Amino acid sequence: MKKNLSILFLVIFSIINTACSTQAKTYQISSLNNAKMMQLHKKINVQLSPSSINDTSVSSRLSSISMPNNDRIDEYIKNAFNGELRYAKVYSLNKDAVVLTLELQDVELYTRFGNASWNFKIKISSNNNESFTLRTQYPFESLHSSEFDGYPAASAFKPVVQELILDIIYDKEFINLLK
């Protein structure tokens, strides 16, 4: 009987802790970001640093979150940022535009027993030789079982990137990049 219970427990534990692999949602424009960007009165575009982390997924415990269209994480952030700039009508590739360069230095997905967060370290520099580094943590609710951890993490990624862009443009150092 003990042996049967042990086997049953092992089977149930294995099922519950099966790895989860899921995909982040496609980015959508944020009205909060748009309102702030319309106030910038500068033409801007965002590019990536060659030294940026070029991962296409992030793993935590047994969860793996991949980006839509197999984009790299830094590309997802860059495309989201440029999308916000386009929507605010401040995006430009002209030579007089401010070129912001994003260098994703670290991205971490932390999930533990109901406490979860996306953590970023990102350096933002401009063609005027100014830069700053932003470290951020965006908490979200997670489930206990790693089988389901991937879904809240993937669902949280899009709003987290919206908040990341908002944190960048509201950072006190950001204005120095536009001079």
Tell me the CA distances in angstroms from 11 to 4, 7, 140, one per residue in order: 11, 6, 30
Q: What is the pLDDT of residue 18?
A: 42
Domains and CATH numbers, the chain: 19-177 (3.40.50.10610)
Q: Give dist(CA 178, CA 42) in Å, integer.
A: 7
Q: What is the pLDDT of residue 122?
A: 97
Q: What is the pLDDT of residue 57?
A: 80
Is pLDDT at 23 greater than 70 in this prediction?
Answer: no
The end-to-end CA distance of the chain, in Å, is 75
Q: Give dist(CA 147, CA 20) in Å, integer.
A: 5
Cβ contacts of 175 within 8 Å, gap of 6 or more: none
- Top pLDDT among 149 and 42 is at 42
- Top pLDDT among 145 and 175 is at 175
pLDDT for 88-113, tens place per residue?
Answer: 899 999 999 999 999 999 998 887 66
pLDDT for 125-138, tens place per residue?
Answer: 999 999 999 999 98
Cβ contacts of 77 within 8 Å, gap of 6 or more: 102, 104, 122, 161, 164, 165
Residue range 151-156: mean pLDDT, rounded: 78
**Kind and range of the H or E run holding 48:** strand 44-48
Is pLDDT at 77 greater than 80 in this prediction?
Answer: yes
Residue range 41-65: mean pLDDT, rounded: 83
Q: What is the pLDDT of residue 5?
A: 52
Least confident stretch, 16-20, 46-50, 93-97, 173-177: 16-20
